[in-house]
Amino acid sequence: MERESDTPQRVTYAATVERMIESAPGTRSLFLRLPPSQHFTFIPGQFISCLLPLDGEPAIRPYSIASSPEEPARLEICLNLVPGGVGSRYLFSLAVGAAVRFTGPWGRFTLDRQPQAECVFLAEGTGIVPIRPMLWRALQSRDTYPLRLHYAAASASHLLYADEFERAAREQPRFTFAPLLGVSLVELVTQHYLAGDTDRTRHFYICGVGTIIPQLRDLLRRGGYERRAVHYEKW
């Protein structure tokens, strides 16, 4: 690609795969270690864009950061093996010690400081990934506003980080963890946050893949929640 000479060059980070775990069937967490010379900071919810050496030009594949900014030299990304997806196939083929180049951080779906309101997190599948550090950030504050996580997954074995969320819910009374198996988030939102409930002060953080995300967004906004109180990221 020809670049105009004035196009500024962004920083590219060069990490190595330190460890990987199968977090769920068909889902893998990669822990990326940055060299001490490279400092990386981000806001909970942001993603990195991996530059994958596939064909010709490096292919750009965005992955949300699953870890917290408090540990910036060691990033966790978590991804599904997508059928026919060359990016995920490449990352699944990497061994410990392999190099991964990326740019970032990117993205506006963030939670830096908890809003002065109840926060409801709606996650579907790997949509939990950016929400995890957002939730930890919110839990760090001394606010007393309730925090709720509704996490929809195909089965119990597909729930990522469930042990952590259960532990946090036991330790912090203001946090509720509600895994959702076999029930649609649309149904849940309609029942719990729209029908028969007049409180419209909550903030929502919604993440997942596909059309359910704009569907939830529209449902909440049309149901009376402030446009800017409904935060979402659709992949």
Pick the binder of other proteins from 30, 68, 75, 105 (CB under 8 A): 105
Looking at beta carbons only, is 7 or 144 nearer to other proteins? 7
Cα angle 162, 163, 167 (rounded to 5 degrees) comes to 115
Q: Is the CB of residue 33 less than 8 Å from the CB of residue 112?
A: no
- Establish if 222 lies at the interface with other proteins (CB under 8 A): no
**Contact between 214 and other proteins (CB under 8 A)?**
yes
Two tokens at 69? 């900014």
Give the integer Cα–Cα distance in Å for 132 and 45: 8
The structure tokens 């059309």 sit at: 211
Minimum distance of other proteins from residue 2's CB (angstroms):
4
| Using rule CB under 8 A, residue 82 touches other proteins | no
The dihedral built from the CA positions of residue 91, 96, 102 and 108, taken in this order, carries a sign that is: positive
Minimum separation from the CB atom of position 226 to other proteins (A): 13
**CA–CA dist 136, 177 (Å, integer):** 13
Q: How many Å apart are CA 64 and CA 76, to the nearest integer? A: 9
- Selected from 90, 92, 136, 235, the binder of other proteins by CB under 8 A is 235
Residue 162 burial (CB count, 10 A): 17
Specify whether the CB–CB gap between 90 and 54 falls below 8 A: yes
The answer to whether the CB of 206 falls within 8 A of the CB of 134 is no
The structure tokens listed for 99 are 């190099």
Is residue 163 a contact residue for other proteins (CB under 8 A)? Answer: no
Tell whether residue 7 is a contact of other proteins (CB under 8 A): yes
Q: Which of residues 140-159 bind other proteins (CB under 8 A)?
A: none
When asked if residue 31 is in the footprint of other proteins (CB under 8 A), the reply is: no
- Per CB under 8 A, does 12 bind other proteins? no
Q: Which of 3/142 has CB closer to other proteins?
A: 3
At its nearest, how many Å lie between other proteins and the CB of residue 113? 16
Q: Which 38-57 residues touch other proteins, going by CB under 8 A?
A: 46-47, 49
DSSP 8-state class, residue 89: H
Residue 83 engages other proteins in binding (rule: CB under 8 A)? no
Q: How many residues bind other proteins (CB under 8 A)?
A: 30
Determine which residue in the list 13, 32, 61, 119 makes contact with other proteins, applying CB under 8 A. Answer: 61
Whose Cβ is closer to other proteins: residue 4's or residue 163's? 4
Chosen residue from 4, 22, 163, 171 binding other proteins by CB under 8 A:
4
CB 73 within 8 Å of CB 17: no
Which residues would be at the binding site for other proteins (CB under 8 A)?
1-8, 10, 46-47, 49, 59-62, 103-109, 214, 217-218, 232-235
